[in-house]
Chain A
């Protein structure tokens, strides 16, 4: 798999504040990456540096194995950062034409991309008449004009209404399905969980995790159970060798194993003990819970 971006010990200091601290990671072609972190953890600053708008204090990065300088490489990249920035007095089509001139790509794609984001019928309206959702969609169209090898999105659904969020997510999924590499910064964890294969977790500018979403934590999941005889169920689970602890959550009993045990195994044991099960589910912690426990561990 070819390398798209290589970041080595990237650091940015704003006066006394270290926004990004010795950050290293590699982006490979074909994966969907998420950058996670609370507000102010350095996500936007990191993207700003690799996109040539923020000067790094130290460290290096190279696009496409360093074969091109940054601004040449950026013509092969599509990026949307925070708020959509366009010329308010230009129409959507004029704005996109300017982007074509900058990226040195033919203007023939403008209609196609406006169609993709459902803005074709508004292409001759000036940007300032657009709603935030439409502006964000135009930004996506603009980022796709060059059929980028990597799409970078910084909080693409920030401040949008639910309908626009669904629309933007739909577009992102469509693009991901085409095999485009994506780098998505967000503090919305379900967003990342839904589309990303890999994740970079930042806290106070420092990398605390980088790897596959599935191996973010080495937990064994947990079981959610209910029975006609709750007390008996609790007793058996407490005596079970592989169960670390149990807790009662709403009307269910949650059982946390200390090693990976299969649902069939546990269900069989309970059956043998004569427990009639009315609810049985094997679950994993959501990315949100994993993320919170990860960032909490770092604070201690």
Chain B
């Protein structure tokens, strides 16, 4: 495993655009902290976002896990290109001839996916811990370390998303097309949901079917945190809207995402094994 990690690490470390993308990713993750600086001061309306409770423990775990996930596209570009470039440079062929097995090749990529997801999760953890200790109204240990399942969900979400990217990079072999396909797939899921809602017979629950779609399942894993904010709740009640959205990490969403990760992993493996180079 260590050998596979270093093989992949060398490939990434020496590539300038990869270094820039990874650097940009972690800078952007840190920039969540800048939200704390959002202040409005219009006459008698004083609004300081950091004091609206978004940085309170344990809510901050949920909030940052949700916001941090938006930046994953940067690492997705890295993963798609590190896979697709092996084909366009034909270096995968050379790797295999040099004595790497196809399984080892796949695992070197997958180890990197786990590393990226792990470091990113750790990063969110540290940033949240610092922000929380600065702005949180509650600083009791048992409250600080409550609701950490949002970070687990964040980790699984990244692993699943990057495994999907690995599959697309391998299947399509061209970075740009693979990323384009990712966008198309996102739209495809949206259109499917629309059609399900509109046309499906009454015995089919469109929302439940939609939960099974890969990208939607990943996004369900860390649901939106906003409806938990008291300010948002108050606003909704004032306009007479009852908030009934889900905000917790649900067991079945985890299962669905894990199943999709396995499917993408196995499809990539099968593709590698069957394809002649």
Contacts and interface: CB of A to CB of B under 8 A. Distances in A.
Nearest to B90: A85
Contact of B276 (A54, A79, A102): A54
Contacts of A72: 99
A98 B7 CA distance: 6
B93 A53 contact: yes
B99 A101 contact: no
A89 B10 CA distance: 11
Given A48-B276, A88-B89, A101 B101 contact: no
A103 B3 CA distance: 10
Which of B7, B94, B95, B277 has the most chain A CB atoms inside 10 A of its CB? B94
Contacts of B7: 98, 101-102
Contact of A71 (B6, B14, B91, B101): B101
Contacts of B273: 55
A52 B3 CA distance: 20
B90 A104 contact: no
B98 interface: yes
Contacts of A102: 7, 95, 98-100
Interface in A8-66: 48, 51-55
B104 interface: yes
A54 B273 CA distance: 10
B98 A53 contact: no
A89 B95 contact: no
Task: Give the most central of A69, A89, A102, A103: most B CB within 10 Å.
Answer: A102
A91 B6 CA distance: 17
Interface residues of B, number: 26
Nearest to B3: A101
A104 B16 contact: no
Given A55-B274, A102-B7, A83 B98 contact: no
Interface in B81-127: 89-91, 93-102, 104
B277 A71 contact: no
A153 to B, nearest CB: 12
Nearest to B273: A55
B14 to A, nearest CB: 5
Given A48-B277, A101-B7, A71 B100 contact: yes
B104 A85 contact: no
A81 B276 contact: no
Contacts of B93: 53, 81, 85
A132 B274 CA distance: 31
Nearest to B276: A54
Given A53-B277, A98-B10, A86 B98 contact: no
B134 to A, nearest CB: 41
A71 B16 contact: no
B13 to A, nearest CB: 9
A101 B277 contact: no
Nearest to B15: A89
B199 interface: no
Interface in A62-100: 69-75, 77, 79, 81, 83, 85-91, 94, 97-99
A94 B9 CA distance: 12
Contacts of B6: 101
Interface of A: 48, 51-55, 69-75, 77, 79, 81, 83, 85-91, 94, 97-99, 101-104, 142
3 closest Cβ pairs, A-B complex: A75-B99, A71-B101, A74-B99
Interface of B: 3, 6-7, 10-11, 14-16, 89-91, 93-102, 104, 273-274, 276-277
Given A53-B276, A72-B99, A102-B99, 6 more contacts: A51-B96, A55-B273, A55-B274, A86-B94, A94-B14, A99-B98
